[in-house]
Amino acid sequence: MTQRLQGKVAFITGAARGQGRAHAVSMAEEGADIIAVDICHDIDSNRYPLATPEDLTETERLVKERGRRILAQQADVRERAELRDVLQAGLADLGRLDIVVANAGIMPMTPAPADAQDFVDATDVDLIGVMNTVAVSHSHLVDHGSIILTGSTAGMITGATTHPSFGPGGAGYQWSKQVMQQYTEQMALHLAHRFIRVNCIHPTNCNTHLLHNKELYKVFRPDLEDPTREDAELTFPLFQAMPVPWVEPEDIANLAVFLASEESRYITGQQIRVDAGSLLKWAGGMPS
């Protein structure tokens, strides 16, 4: 291991599984200690199950297995006070803060007729949750620290999640990821005097529970009444220019480690895609 993050502490939301767990494990492998947060219970509008306390415990185990310290606690990114409490406990235990990864996200999907609450919940988690994470943490970051946000190519490709099959939740997901691009640039500008970098990673389909669930399978295979994962996987590669169905959480984590390290010391305000060419393929927008 290169230990590019030796002695650093990372605050990661949505850390119980998926991309968040990959960030925690990859950064621990590079020498960082971790403050890990996840809601660990379901949100009614979100039709696929969210992470569990057992998932968060597994992330904790994996980080400790790599010889690093971790404080792992449940908190809802929609509640700023909860995030503040966890971060304060982490600072008391681990002593400093160098890296913030605002990763927690959901995509509630229900075709019309659907409740506007789906839109509210998507934006509360995917946008307000990111802002809450940055709000409680930026003043605690050491100078030359790094803030990494999880966006999505869905925020860059017109119509990616605004098809009626996605319902208000899909619209909220895409709108949140669009606004996040401007938020990244504004925060990068206002923290630049402290050499704190703010960048946003935009994945394509990623091999996590947000992709692998029954509701999304129905979107990819509307011709079938009860599509299976195998049915949906036939269409997943259509979204990317490279002939792959998805990227792995570790692909996103590899970039995050770089953005958290001193190797990226002058990279800030950037929108960086890990998308296997999906934006290049669909630059003119997705078909309706």
Output phi, psi for 235, to 5 deg. -105, -15
List pLDDT tens digits, range 170-227: 999 999 999 999 999 999 999 999 999 999 999 999 999 999 998 889 888 888 989 9
Strand order in the sheet with 99-102: 70-74, 33-38, 9-13, 99-102, 146-150, 197-203, 271-274
Predicted confidence band at 2 (pLDDT cuts at 50, 70, 90)? confident
CB 177 within 8 A of CB 155: yes
Does the pLDDT of residue 264 top 70, yes or no?
yes
Does the pLDDT of residue 69 top 90, yes or no?
yes
- How far is it, in rounded angstroms, from Cα 189 to Cα 42? 35
Instruction: Return the structure tokens found at 139.
Output: 């003043």
Kindly state the DSSP code that residue 111 receives in the 8-state scheme: P
Residue with tokens 């480690």: 257
- How far is it, in rounded angstroms, from Cα 286 to Cα 136? 37
Least confident residue range of 193-207, 226-240, 256-270: 226-240
Name the catalytic one among 173, 183, 217, 266.
Answer: 173
Kindly state the DSSP code that residue 127 receives in the 8-state scheme: I
Residue with tokens 């969210």: 50
pTM of the predicted protein model: 0.96
Output phi, psi for 115, to 5 deg. -85, 145
Per domain, the residue ranges of the chain are 9-281
Does the pLDDT of residue 110 top 80, yes or no?
no
DSSP annotation string for 263-275: GGTT--S-EEEES
- The architecture in CATH of the region 9-281 reads 3-Layer(aba) Sandwich (3.40)
Does the pLDDT of residue 113 top 70, yes or no?
no
- How far is it, in rounded angstroms, from Cα 131 to Cα 137? 10
Beta strands 197-203 and 99-102 are: unpaired
- How far is it, in rounded angstroms, from Cα 18 to Cα 93? 25
Output phi, psi for 258, to 5 deg. -60, -45
- 173 flagged as catalytic: yes
Q: Write out 145-177 in H/E/C secondary structure.
A: CEEEEECCHHHCCCCCCCCHHHHHHHHHHHHHH
CB 251 within 8 A of CB 274: yes
